[in-house]
C-alpha cells in the first residue's frame, strides 16, 4: 500500500489546489523512493520517457500560435464567414460551422469549443435565423439547437484534429501504437484519417440540416407554411417578370 503514496499526494494536492508541477514532481520522487529507485535510476527513467515523447513539445508551440490568432480576431472573422450564408436556418448555420470547424481543426486551431465559441457566437446566430424567418424562438427548439451545435463541435474537432501533423490527437495515437509495437509516421496517420473526417462532417451536416427542418415544421408549422407559400409566390413573380 505504501507504494501508492504518490497517488495520495496527487489527490491531496489537487484537492487543496496546490501548484500542479510541484505536486507531480513530489509524487514522482516519493514513488521512486518507496519503490526502491536510486536518484540515478529516477533521472534515467525521466530522461528516457522525455526522449520517447519529445514530439509532444510541438504542442506547446501550437498553443502559442493558436492564442496569437485568437487575440488578433480569429473568432470575429469566423463569425463573419458564417454570417454570409444565404437564407440561413439554424441547421445551415450549424452545418457551416461544422465545415469551418473541421477545416481549422485540421490545422489544430481551436475557437474555444462549446463555451468559447458555440454558446456566445453560434447560438445567437442560430436563434437569429429563427427570428429572421418571422418566428419567435421556441424554448424546446433552442435546446435542441444547443445539442446539435455542441455535437457538431465534437464531431468536427474529434475527427479533424488528427489531420494535423504534430497535433495532440495524432501524437497520442502514435505514442499508443508505438507502445504496442507499431511504428506509424504522423503524415501517414493523417492521410488515412482524411476520408473518415470528410464523411463524418458530411453526415453531420446532412443530419443536422434535416433534423432542424423537421423541428421547424413541428414548432412553427403555421409560419413555416406561410413562408413556403411566399417563396412559391416570389418564384412565380420572377418567372412572370421574365416573360415580360
Model confidence pLDDT, tens digit, residues 44-100: 877 776 666 555 555 555 556 656 666 666 656 666 767 677 888 999 999 999 998
Domain end call among 37, 52, 67: 52
Number of structural domains the chain divides into: 2
Is residue 120 domain-shared with residue 237, that is, in the same domain? Answer: yes
Please tell me the predicted confidence (pLDDT) of residue 207.
96
Please tell me the predicted confidence (pLDDT) of residue 141.
94
Q: End-to-end alpha-carbon separation of the chain, Å?
A: 91
Is residue 108 domain-shared with residue 197, that is, in the same domain? Answer: yes
Q: Which residues of 115-148 are buried (b: 16+ CB within 10 A; e: fewer)?
A: eebbeebbbebbbebbeebebebbeebeebbbeb
| Half-sphere exposure (Cβ direction) of 222: Cα atoms closer than 13 Å | 2
Please tell me the predicted confidence (pLDDT) of residue 216.
92
Which set of grid coordinates corresponds to residue 146? 444547443
* SS3 state at 164: coil
How far apart CA 106 and CA 100 sit, in angstroms, is 10
Domain end call among 52, 67, 89: 52
pLDDT tens-digit profile, the chain (244 residues): 677 788 888 888 888 878 777 888 888 888 888 888 888 887 787 777 666 655 555 555 555 665 666 666 665 666 676 767 788 899 999 999 999 899 888 887 777 788 778 888 888 888 888 888 888 989 999 999 999 999 999 999 989 988 887 677 777 888 888 888 888 888 888 888 999 999 999 999 999 999 999 999 999 875 544 445 555 566 556 666 544 4
Please tell me the predicted confidence (pLDDT) of residue 202.
96
Domain end call among 13, 28, 52: 52
Determine the structural domain holding residue 131 and report its residue range: 58-243
Is residue 144 domain-shared with residue 229, that is, in the same domain? Answer: yes
Which set of grid coordinates corresponds to residue 218? 413541428
Which set of grid coordinates corresponds to residue 240? 412572370
Please tell me the predicted confidence (pLDDT) of residue 138.
92
Please tell me the predicted confidence (pLDDT) of residue 225.
46
Please tell me the predicted confidence (pLDDT) of residue 198.
95
Is residue 47 domain-shared with residue 78, that is, in the same domain? Answer: no
Please tell me the predicted confidence (pLDDT) of residue 124.
87
3-state DSSP: the chain helix, strand, coil percent, rounded to 5?
80, 0, 20
Is residue 87 domain-shared with residue 135, that is, in the same domain? Answer: yes
Is residue 179 domain-shared with residue 234, that is, in the same domain? Answer: yes
Is residue 131 domain-shared with residue 188, that is, in the same domain? Answer: yes
Is residue 132 domain-shared with residue 17, that is, in the same domain? Answer: no
Is residue 163 domain-shared with residue 199, that is, in the same domain? Answer: yes
Is residue 65 domain-shared with residue 185, that is, in the same domain? Answer: yes
Separation in Å, CA 175 to CA 153, 184, 194: 25, 9, 20
Return the sign of the alpha-carbon dihedral for residues 190, 195, 200, 205: positive
Is residue 13 domain-shared with residue 82, that is, in the same domain? Answer: no
Is residue 173 domain-shared with residue 147, that is, in the same domain? Answer: yes
How far apart CA 141 and CA 130 sit, in angstroms, is 10
Taking phi over 0 as left and psi of -120 to 50 as alpha, with beta for the rest, 165 belongs to beta
Please tell me the predicted confidence (pLDDT) of residue 128.
87
Please tell me the predicted confidence (pLDDT) of residue 58.
56
Amino acid at each position: 500500500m505504501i507504494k501508492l503514496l504518490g497517488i495520495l499526494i496527487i489527490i491531496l494536492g489537487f484537492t487543496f489546489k496546490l501548484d500542479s508541477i510541484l505536486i507531480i514532481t513530489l509524487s514522482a520522487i516519493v514513488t521512486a523512493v518507496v519503490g526502491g529507485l536510486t536518484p540515478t535510476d529516477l533521472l534515467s527513467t525521466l530522461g528516457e520517457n522525455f526522449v520517447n515523447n519529445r514530439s509532444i513539445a510541438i504542442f506547446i508551440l501550437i498553443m502559442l500560435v493558436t492564442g496569437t490568432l485568437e487575440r488578433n480576431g480569429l473568432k470575429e472573422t469566423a463569425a463573419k464567414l458564417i454570417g454570409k450564408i444565404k437564407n440561413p436556418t439554424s441547421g445551415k448555420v450549424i452545418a457551416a460551422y461544422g465545415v469551418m470547424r473541421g477545416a481549422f481543426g485540421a490545422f489544430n486551431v481551436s475557437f474555444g469549443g462549446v463555451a468559447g465559441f458555440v454558446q456566445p457566437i453560434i447560438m445567437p446566430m442560430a436563434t437569429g435565423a429563427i427570428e429572421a424567418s418571422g418566428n419567435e424562438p421556441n424554448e424546446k427548439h433552442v435546446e435542441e439547437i444547443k445539442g446539435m451545435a455542441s455535437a457538431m463541435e465534437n464531431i468536427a474537432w474529434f475527427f479533424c484534429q488528427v489531420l494535423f501533423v504534430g497535433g495532440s490527437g495524432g501524437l497520442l495515437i502514435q505514442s499508443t501504437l508505438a507502445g504496442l509495437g507499431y511504428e506509424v509516421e504522423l503524415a501517414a496517420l493523417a492521410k488515412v484519417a482524411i476520408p473518415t473526417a470528410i464523411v463524418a462532417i458530411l453526415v453531420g451536416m446532412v443530419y443536422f440540416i434535416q433534423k432542424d427542418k423537421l423541428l421547424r415544421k413541428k414548432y412553427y408549422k403555421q409560419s413555416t407554411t406561410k413562408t413556403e407559400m411566399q417563396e412559391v409566390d416570389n418564384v412565380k413573380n420572377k418567372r412572370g417578370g421574365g416573360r415580360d
